[in-house]
Structure 1
């Protein structure tokens, strides 16, 4: 199935790139940008990203590396002021 018409990227291309990256480095974080670079392409309009992301997530080898699972998430309250002093 064609996922990105602008760059002619299919679901097979995405799966192959994810598998290749995971085989090269089991602890890597796989992002859409890394997949585009692995395929030698650049994102154009971004209209494909929802389908692109769904295709990535469906890959068997896409899972988050074990070492990064369970990391604490930052709450909205902690990021709202970014620890800036008043007046900035």
Structure 2
């Protein structure tokens, strides 16, 4: 799905930038070789960043729980 019509960025492009280490909107655009234009896409970009953060925290918590259980 297109998220940014100014730059023709899709949700996949944004997710790939996030997987590449982007943690802020400016890093997402930079990672895609683009610049933010009108800003209409910013809520969706932020939502995708938050979603990635939640997933990363859940993975981290799961790994910690596994390590604690394995150590017991």
- TM-score bracket relative to the smaller structure: 0.5 to 0.7
Gaps of 5+ in 1: 23-29, 67-88
**TM-score using structure 2 length:** 0.67
| SS of equivalent to 1:17 | helix
Task: From the two aligned structures, give the one with the greater helix fraction.
Answer: 2
Structure 1 residue 50: Cα displacement: 0.7
RMSD over aligned Cα, in angstroms? 1.9
Corresponding residue number in structure 2 for 1:54: 47
With normalisation by structure 1, the TM-score equals: 0.56
Structure label with greater radius of gyration: 1
- Residue 19 of structure 2 corresponds to residue 37 of structure 1: no
Report 1:1-88 matches (<5 A): 1-21=1-21, 30-59=23-52, 60-61=55-56
Poorly superposed stretches of 4+, deviation over 4 Å: none
